[in-house]
Amino acid sequence: MFKTIPFKYDEDLKREIEIRGRSYLTFKNYRCQLRRISEYIGKDIADVTPEEANRFLRHLHSDLKRGPQTINICRAAFYFFNQCVMGRDVPHYALAKQKVRQKLPDILSQESILAVFDTLLLRNRAILSLCYGSGLRISEALSIRISDINSKEMKVYVRNGKGGTQRYSILSAYSLDTLREYYRAYRPKGKFLFPKHSDPEKPMTPQYIQNYFSVAYKKLFPEGQNKRITIHTLRHCFATHLLDSGTDLRTIQILLGHKSIESTCIYTHLTTRHFAKLMSPLDQNGR
């Protein structure tokens, strides 16, 4: 893949993304999508027209059956490249935008998560315990540095959040014990807790562990084959279980690093204890 048409805009694309305070992950995603467009159309991405880009978006939708989020990221990459790198104005109506239908994520019980953790290899358990215990995205967990763990105040510094943002989240005692056991066993070199094997100065890539939790969960709980389980499920569980325990939405928003409280409000649809305490107005008159 990506062998036919060379991509000559790495430095320009990275510079424009960094200037706008966006993350390195955004750069990688945009570059990947731009190269896909270029390969499919068969010409340098700078020469691809909006009509041709639309043809690729239709290909993603109709032939490859990609979801709205993937299509919209590709669309955003094309706009960003043309406007910020090439200095060309492309009308926003030129490329079709997919409507994203909000689906409620599947939530697992605390007991089932811990049961899965008990089956995991030490390093993977250390990584995933941060995803659940601190509500981290997998990219955030893998970017944690040794100096980011504050065992005295039981908090973790997230320096590589979505959009290049930083925040603090809570650190669970379970995670701390697991991380200490992991550190004694692996003695990671460099500044990252989970360094890349081939280059200790870089963090591990998410691809290594992307499907690990899902496979482990469905192996232990075969009845859950139809559930949509990913590593990100652990982040959803973190927020929902906090809400169940009485934590307010504003605090959960801060811990998750959500810019808008609307993103956090989805968890009110998932909490069970919150709903159990509610009473329908039909029953409030005592009849």
Among residues 43, 159, 162, 196, the one annotated as catalytic is 162
pLDDT given at position 91:
86
The pLDDT value recorded for residue 223 is: 87
77: closest CA among 30, 40, 37, 10? 30
Out of 232, 241, 259, 277, which one is annotated catalytic?
232
Residues 138 and 253 in one domain: yes
Give pairs for 125-130: CB < 8 Å, separation 24+. 125/178, 125/182, 126/175, 126/178, 126/179, 126/181, 126/182, 126/193, 126/194, 127/194, 127/209, 128/209, 128/212, 128/213, 128/231, 128/234, 129/172, 129/174, 129/175, 129/178, 129/179, 130/156, 130/175, 130/179
Are residue 135 and residue 243 in the same domain, yes or no? yes
Contact indicator for 30, 78 with CB cutoff of 8 Å: no
Do 38 and 165 share a domain, yes or no? no
Instruction: Name the domain boundary from 51, 85, 119.
Output: 85
* Residue 276: per-residue pLDDT: 66
Indicate if the pLDDT at residue 123 is higher than 50.
yes
92 is catalytic: no
In-domain check, residue 53? yes
91 in a domain, yes or no? no
For residue 12, the model assigns a pLDDT of: 94
Domain presence at residue 28: yes
pLDDT level of residue 153 (50, 70, 90 thresholds): very high
**Are 268 and 143 in the same domain?**
yes
| Catalytic choice (35, 75, 125, 137) | 137
Residue 150 has pLDDT above 80, yes or no: yes
The verdict on whether 61 is a catalytic residue reads: no
With 70 as the cut, is the pLDDT of residue 95 above it? yes
**Is residue 105 one of the residues assigned to a domain?**
no
Of 31, 235, 236, 241, which is the active-site residue? 235
Residue 15 above 50 pLDDT?
A: yes
**Mean pLDDT of the residues in the chain:** 89
In a domain, 256, yes or no: yes
Range of the domain at 258: 110-274
Supply the CATH number for residue 70's domain.
1.10.150
Claim to verify: residue 264 and residue 144 sit in the same structural domain: yes
> Which band of pLDDT confidence, cut at 50, 70 and 90, is reported for residue 1?
very low
- Asked if 140 and 160 count as a contact pair (C-beta separation under 8 A), the reply is yes
Helices (H), the chain: 10-19, 24-41, 50-58, 68-80, 110-117, 122-133, 138-142, 173-186, 212-220, 232-244, 249-256, 261-264, 273-276
Contact (Cβ atoms closer than 8 angstroms) between residue 45 and residue 9:
yes
Active-site annotation holds for 123:
no
Number of domains in the chain: 2
pLDDT digits (tens, 9 = 90+) for 184-210: 999 998 899 999 888 888 888 888 888
Residue 129 within any structural domain of the chain: yes
Q: Which residue has the higher pLDDT, 189 or 156?
A: 156
162 is catalytic: yes
Dihedral angle, C-alpha 162, 68, 109, 158, nearest 10 °: 0
What are 29-78's pLDDT values in tens digits?
999 999 999 999 999 999 999 999 999 999 999 999 888 889 999 999 99
Higher-pLDDT residue of 173 and 259 is 173
